[in-house]
Amino acid sequence: MVFNSLSFLIFFPIAVLGYYLLPQRFKNLWLLVLSYYFYMCWNAVYALLIFFSTLSTWLCAHWMGKMQAEAGRKLALGVNIGVNLGILFLFKYYDMFMQLVVDGLALAGIRYTAPVLSLLLPVGISFYTFQALGYSIDVYRGTVKHEKSFLDYMLFVSFFPQLVAGPIERSANLLPQFHKPHPFVYDNLAMGLRIMLWGFFKKVVIADNIALAVDRMYTYIEVFPGPVLLAGVILFGVQIYCDFGGYSDIAMGAAKALGFDLMENFRRPYFSRSIREFWRRWHISLNTWFTDYVYIPLGGSRCSRARHLFNLLFVFFLSGLWHGASWTYVCWGLYHGLWLCLETVTLPRVEALQNRLNGTAAGRLLAVCRVAGTFLAANLGWIFFRSDYFTQVSYLFTHLHRGWGIFADPLGAAAAFASLADSTRISLIILVSVLVLFAAELLEEVRHKRVYAMAQQLSLPVQWCVYYLLLFGIALFGAFGQSSFIYFQF
């Protein structure tokens, strides 16, 4: 089941109504049943994998809670991490690894045919595996106590709003919320629906309409001149942001309607002034997971310069690999890792200059240039992420500078850009909806408050005008049935 489906629009009101009508002692059980049903609508058999990951990490934490010897605790944690990552490797990386072995042997003159599994990747396996492992590591470190209720822990791993695409929640934040009563509060329901409405608009109107143009560009990549290719690359950056950010908003809103608070996963990343800041605003739950469980244990930045740079590259190598068993994803991760390595040298000087110029016209211009530069750098990185083959990557990087002479004929240039979507209607929807997104996020950036929180402060007539505009926009201009959420494949 996906959020942008009729089945979810039926499922969710039933979930909320049942949750608030049931006695407190049955509420978590109700959510657990719904969460497993939500996942089993995709593939019932693979629900066993979630259960196994849940059981193994819960038992590991239980044993660590009883063990006194540090060696035993480390062994239990190591076995648990190995087993869970082993399952993730089997389903997600086995074929890629075996192909690497075959290619390596071929270079040595040895012919070998490896068995190919071609297993169907369980949706959301990377998300719930990391969430469950984070809990067991936290118990080992002593930052959280072992959860005694297996039912509550099952719900923590499988909670349907964030089950298949995050955010990757921390046990310290979400688990205690399952122990508290959640009576019906109108403000929670209203805020949750506001967040969901904004998320649906970002996904169905912005992301899915842009997907039509981006898919067309990558299908007929050799047809378009450089400026149109660059527009397509940037549009994909907006698409993946609205697709994944839209999912995160719907997840946060669905949880809020039930009285739960999920962590914020995006914070206007395209207004960042550096790639380092970009990663503090983009997919925050994954970035902080790697920071806490990989980067800091490796030594973080409190080590030699060479080791620090290695830590950055290694973490972003893993981040790229986490996204998929493809070398294009790995290169995307290393691309960002290299940017961060470069910024360890250059960023202190740039920020020192920014501080000296603050409050001046030159300072504001520098800030705008930094945002624009970061935006362009992040979007060029999406070329690796979106391309299916390195031939596409190579073609884009070698052709973006070509064909800029089309601007000598303004009408011809306009026609070239319109041809990206192959529809005047879709082109206009994309243009207007992206402007709405930019205006809303600029307002958020200035006021440091989310747009749905600002909507709550408007008068009721104005509020409802905004809600109806979004609803009509979704109904009239939404690209229904175009695609699932991009991050479901991870």
Classify burial at 115, counting beta carbons within 10 Å of its beta carbon; exposed 0-12, middle 13-18, buried 19 or more: exposed
Catalytic residue among 62, 146, 323, 336: 323
Residue 199: per-residue pLDDT: 94
Run of H or E including 252: helix 226-257
Structural contact between residues 126 and 167, judged by C-beta atoms closer than 8 angstroms: no
Q: What residues contact residue 192 under an 8 Å CB cut-off, 6+ apart? A: 252, 253, 254, 255, 256, 257, 258
How many angstroms separate the CA atoms of 211 and 156, rounded? 33
**In this structure, which long-range contacts are made by residues 113-117, counting pairs with CB atoms below 8 Å and at least 24 apart in sequence?**
117/90
| DSSP character at residue 294 | I
CB atoms within 10 A of CB 257: 25
For residue 154, pLDDT over 60 is answered with yes
pLDDT at 117 over 90: no
Q: Rounded mean pLDDT of 93-122?
A: 79
Residue 108 pLDDT grade (very low, low, confident, very high; cuts 50, 70, 90): confident
Beta carbons within 8 Å of 396's beta carbon, 6+ residues apart: 221, 229, 233, 383, 387
Residue 221 · residue 396 · CB < 8 Å: yes
Residue 67: its pLDDT value, please?
Answer: 82
Return the H-helix or E-strand segment holding 57: helix 47-66
**What pLDDT, on the 0 to 100 scale, is given for residue 16?**
96
Q: Which range among 332-336, 410-414, 464-468 has the greatest average pLDDT? A: 332-336
Instruction: Find all residues with CB under 8 Å of 468, minimum gap 6, and list them.
Output: none
Residue ranges of the alpha helices (H) in 387-459? 390-399, 410-418, 424-447, 451-455
What are the distances in angstroms from CA 416 to CA 85, 393, 409, 436? 47, 21, 10, 23
**Cis amide leading into 167 (omega within 30):** yes
Is 323 among the residues known to form the active site? yes
For residue 416, pLDDT over 90 is answered with: no
The token pair at 249 is 């908003």
Average pLDDT estimate for 297-323? 93
Which pLDDT value is given to residue 481? 65
For residues 126 and 168, give the distance between their C-alpha atoms in angstroms, rounded to a whole number.
9
Given a cut of 80, is residue 1 above it in pLDDT? no
pLDDT tens track for 362-375: 999 999 999 999 99
The residue with greater pLDDT, 68 or 33, is 33
pLDDT at 490: 65
Identity at 414, one-letter amino acid code: A
Point out the least confidently predicted range of 83-97, 283-297, 429-443: 83-97
Can you list the pairs that 212-218 forms with residues at least 24 positions away whose Cβ atoms lie under 8 Å?
212/421, 212/422, 212/423, 212/426, 212/479, 212/482, 213/420, 213/421, 213/422, 213/426, 213/427, 213/430, 214/239, 214/386, 216/420, 216/421, 216/422, 217/420, 218/386, 218/387, 218/388, 218/392
Provide the angle, in degrees to the nearest 10, between the axes of the packed helices 327-357 and 361-386: 180
Report d(CA 383, CA 56) in Å as an integer: 38
State the pLDDT at residue 120. Answer: 81
Considering only 29-38, 377-386, 474-483, which range has the smallest mean pLDDT? 474-483
Q: Which of 198, 313, 182, 317 is nearest to 253 (CA)?
A: 198
Which tens digit of pLDDT belongs to each residue from 36-71?
A: 999 998 888 999 999 999 999 999 999 988 887 888
| 144: DSSP letter | S
- Start-end of H helices in 70-183: 70-92, 94-107, 125-141, 150-158, 171-174
**Is 149's pLDDT higher than 80?**
yes
Query: Taking the model in full, what pTM does it have?
Result: 0.93
pLDDT at 482 over 60: no
Of residues 229, 235, 230, 227, the one with CA closest to residue 207: 235
Residue predicted with more confidence, 409 or 207: 207
For the cut 90, the answer to whether the pLDDT of residue 458 exceeds it is no
